[in-house]
Structure 1
């Protein structure tokens, strides 16, 4: 499993963000786009005490394009070759959508998200304050990997006392992943995690994921900019209580045994064909690039376990080499998805020639 930062470092960073962030529900008529010749997109907001300019990151630019139904490829082309045309397009559609409002999330004076006014904020710091004490109470709790990326927060915790020796010397431990996005990348998710002790591989059983959408009531702003600094504590508390129950289910003995048994069954899937072709079939299914495909093949060969179990562990093992934490987590999720492949799908991989 790819390591991130320490829990203390994560909490410190969340507290720093809490001071720097500002959320506003803004009527379209109070928004103007200004893009520099170098392609830096700024969102100018007519706030109660004067206009303020916020530099938008690439992600917020993409959200703005989608909200205004501007094709993203066209948006990027204008941003590169004709920034005046880009501003003309954005501002024209903002005028057409004058009756609409949007939730703009900023951090340190930069716009990091451009969202629907119905977007339900579930902030990372509130989630952490609520769920970390619950995670600490898990049997033999160990925060194996936590991280805060540009798009998501991850808490990956192992409950080391819930364990199973799948074969002599190969111990699996139960765990849970809690992840959340403040900027609309994904839902609040709680997922079972299986940790392989001998190689530190993590597998996320995303097919048994428990999720909470960021959808809520429409935030009305009228004709004015509405600052959203409240945390809607009563609603948050109810959601976080559900998260607590979801965590307990994710690390239960029943869930752990079910996933462990699925992993054990992959040991009986022999890779009888060309292993290079087997990895290529897998790469085609999950859109691995050439570097990723080569890395998975290397892990498979080095581990000398030419069966389904070895292939699953080659995928999750390679995740530790991936620089981007979000992408590394995707590899752990793909390992979990492989447990759900049908017999026919495994046959296509195992017998590839």
Structure 2
């Protein structure tokens, strides 16, 4: 697949990338890091006006760099709306309808529930706006409304710590692609030096992208994907991921995921600024866990064992592709649009087996522009293999 690098521009900071290089991701994260504002505030300090979050009465942050005003206007993302709905127990579908059709009613509903418990505290994660020196503050972005016990593990710091852990492991690796959305960061890492043959798994398969044959290149590389969410959409995880070299399909093995949940003690009110010692200990732990995970996942024994498990089911013939894929996609709650692409990729792949269904899932995932949807679909590849083998 060719590189697709895209920024969803806002007045605040670029917030997205798909199949970007590591250097591109690092630049976006560094810029975001400089604009982040994280504050624990009581409900009495929060209001919705014209659909935007207004913060008032929160003490400014004073640092060596100057004074950072917290009070201001923040435009909610879809993720922030989900947090508002969750924390105030407003049905999400209703909140979305109000935002689309009746913003004054949205303001009235949200503000009524905020007034219900004015001392309740929330963590607001935001990006500051910037109109330049001497100008009034620009509208910022409300990224998430979270519990005040949410533990911050920022993407930029976590990425640096994870890369340090990879370095500590001593394994030769390369970052093959990075995604960043409003919800999550995904960083895919591969080691072609750690690869095994998978002739049975790839017998008769050809890449839907370039027509190359799995019989000619029956190799599977070891790898993993690092995922983190700054906005409550998932833990920091390292998930093993095998890579089919002939087509670059990825097979994530979620049963072996290593995770670290973003929960901690209650935060004090005001702007959050962790001490250097606290940050250092957290990042040292991430580096250590990453090194351990790399040593486990980047071994020929581990990859060979997982390939052997897949091969046991992959050879089951699929006599009626349309019915089998209908069954698989329905049982795994895969949407109609993706289902049609999966069937197309299955036919082009030429492997009329349960393994071919698995490959069609992963190759379809590569074509999706939404990185979170792509990762979710790829994670269903091995369950799809099991479902297709059982269906026949």
- Identify whether the pair has TM-score above 0.5, normalized to the shorter chain: yes
Rate the CA distance shift 1:153–1:143 in 2: closer, same or farther, 3 A.
same
Give per-residue Cα distances to partners, 1:221-276, cap 9 Å, x unaligned. 2xxxx11122631234224422332232222333212211122223321113x111
2:264 paired with 1:228: no
Q: Note if contact 2:20-2:179 (Cα within 8 Å) is conserved in structure 1.
A: yes
Question: What's the offset of the Cα at 1:346?
Answer: 4.0
Match of residue 209, structure 1, among 247, 253, 257: 257
2:78 paired with 1:47: no
Question: What's the offset of the Cα at 1:91?
Answer: 1.6
Match of residue 17, structure 1, among 21, 32, 37: 32
Question: What's the offset of the Cα at 1:46?
Answer: 2.5
Alignment partner of 1:218: what SS?
coil
Rate the CA distance shift 1:61–1:12 in 2: closer, same or farther, 3 A.
same
Question: What's the offset of the Cα at 1:164?
Answer: 0.7
TM-score between both structures, scaled by the size of structure 1? 0.89
Cα distance in 2, alignment partners of residues 101 and 240 from structure 1: 32
**What number of residue pairs does the alignment pair up?**
337
Give per-residue Cα distances to partners, 1:129-174, cap 9 Å, x unaligned. 1111333565331211112222111111111111111115310010
Alignment-derived partner of residue 211 in structure 2:
none
Cα distance in 2, alignment partners of residues 238 and 59 from structure 1: 28
Alignment-derived partner of residue 98 in structure 1:
118
Deviates most, 114-123 or 235-244: 235-244
Question: What's the offset of the Cα at 1:347?
Answer: 4.9
Q: Where does structure 2 lack aligned partners over 5 or more consecutive residues?
A: 4-18, 61-68, 129-139, 200-214
Cα distance in 2, alignment partners of residues 81 and 18 from structure 1: 34
Question: What's the offset of the Cα at 1:8?
Answer: 0.8
Cα distance in 1, alignment partners of residues 264 and 302 from structure 2: 30
Alignment-derived partner of residue 143 in structure 1:
175
TM-score between both structures, scaled by the size of structure 2? 0.81
Cα distance in 2, alignment partners of residues 290 and 338 from structure 1: 15
Match of residue 244, structure 1, among 265, 275, 291: 291
Rate the CA distance shift 1:256–1:44 in 2: closer, same or farther, 3 A.
same
Q: Note if contact 1:2-1:325 (Cα within 8 Å) is conserved in structure 2.
A: no
Post-superposition, which runs of at least 4 consecutive aligned residues in structure 1 deviate over 6 A?
none
Q: Note if contact 2:164-2:287 (Cα within 8 Å) is conserved in structure 1.
A: no
Question: What's the offset of the Cα at 1:41?
Answer: 2.8
Superposed, which structure 2 residues align to 1:73-88 within 5 Å? 73-88=93-108
Q: Note if contact 2:325-2:388 (Cα within 8 Å) is conserved in structure 1.
A: no
Q: Note if contact 2:315-2:354 (Cα within 8 Å) is conserved in structure 1.
A: yes
Give per-residue Cα distances to partners, 1:179-233, cap 9 Å, x unaligned. 1000111111111010001111111111211111111111132xxxx11122631
Give per-residue Cα distances to partners, 1:10-62, cap 9 Å, x unaligned. 11111111111110011111111112xxxx43333322257411111121012
Cα distance in 1, alignment partners of residues 52 and 332 from structure 2: 33
Cα distance in 1, alignment partners of residues 389 and 224 from structure 2: 30
Q: CA RMSD in A?
A: 2.0
Q: Note if contact 2:328-2:384 (Cα within 8 Å) is conserved in structure 1.
A: no
Match of residue 158, structure 1, among 182, 190, 193: 190
Q: Note if contact 1:118-1:217 (Cα within 8 Å) is conserved in structure 2.
A: yes
Q: Note if contact 2:165-2:287 (Cα within 8 Å) is conserved in structure 1.
A: no
Q: Note if contact 1:22-1:229 (Cα within 8 Å) is conserved in structure 2.
A: no
Q: Note if contact 2:176-2:188 (Cα within 8 Å) is conserved in structure 1.
A: yes
2:375 paired with 1:329: yes
